Amino acid sequence: HASILRQVEVFCYGTFNEYNADNTLPQLTEPQLEKLKHLTLVSLASENKLLAYDDVKKELGFSNDQQVEGLVIESTYKKLISAKLDQKRRVVEINHVIGRDVRREDLEDIYSKLELWAEACDEALGDISTEIDTANNNASAKKTLDFEFTKAQQALRTEHATEFVSGSGSLARNDSQFLSNEYQREEQRTGGT
């Protein structure tokens, strides 16, 4: 039963080369071999976002580029990966790949990476909070300045209007700062009488 358990492990997180290297494993059927090749491509794609045709051929025992392209196309249709074939450069550009099961010994590494990611998120949230506080402070300062400006402007207008009405100011009767356009036009039409 150990060989069957090992075969299950190969399908969970192993590769085609691992299967070929272990002579104790049971013989696979053609559909099982194809599935293992797809899963091996998934493993390769999760490690590198740019796969050279030669690396895929070596890992899967392929003899030509058409086999690589066929496997990539099949894997794309099965939604195992999202990729583009670059035949000129002979590479597979990986956009997205599904996850596979992980080995127990890989869990600590995954946990460490997640801790680093969480720390980076906390740092980013701190930076965002600082930016929000700065923006709020700037908005509050602008609001205060606008209020003070409006208040000073109103005080000046009140002072000038008071001088004008009392006649103590040196303002001309038709000073356009205080007179409406309609009043100025009427003054001009009647000649100021």
Q: Name the band, by pLDDT with cuts 50, 70 and 90, for residue 1.
A: confident
Quick: pLDDT tens for 91-119.
999 999 998 888 888 889 889 999 999 99
Q: Name the band, by pLDDT with cuts 50, 70 and 90, for residue 175.
A: low
Backbone angles phi and psi of 81, in degrees to 5: -140, 165
DSSP-assigned states of every residue in 24-57? TSPPPPHHHHHHHHHHHHHHHHHH-SEEEHHHHH
pLDDT at 67 over 90: yes
Question: Which pLDDT score, from 0 to 100, does residue 80 have?
Answer: 95
Q: What is the distance of C-alpha 96 from the center of its chain? A: 15
Q: Residue 146 is which amino acid?
A: D
Q: What is the DSSP letter of 97?
A: E
Question: Which pLDDT score, from 0 to 100, does residue 184 have?
Answer: 67
pLDDT at 174 over 80: no
Q: What is the DSSP letter of 18?
A: H
Model-level pTM greater than 0.85?
Answer: no
Q: What is the distance of C-alpha 21 from the center of its chain? A: 41
Distance (Å, rounded) from C-alpha 119 to C-alpha 176?
A: 64
Q: Name the band, by pLDDT with cuts 50, 70 and 90, for residue 167.
A: low
Distance (Å, rounded) from C-alpha 81 to C-alpha 8?
A: 22
Q: Residue 130 is which amino acid?
A: T
Partners of 91 in the β-ladder: 52, 86
CB within 8 Å of 96: residues ≥ 6 apart: 81, 82
Q: Is 168 helix (H, G, I), strand (E, B) or coil?
A: coil
Quick: pLDDT tens for 111-142.
999 999 999 999 999 999 999 999 999 999 99
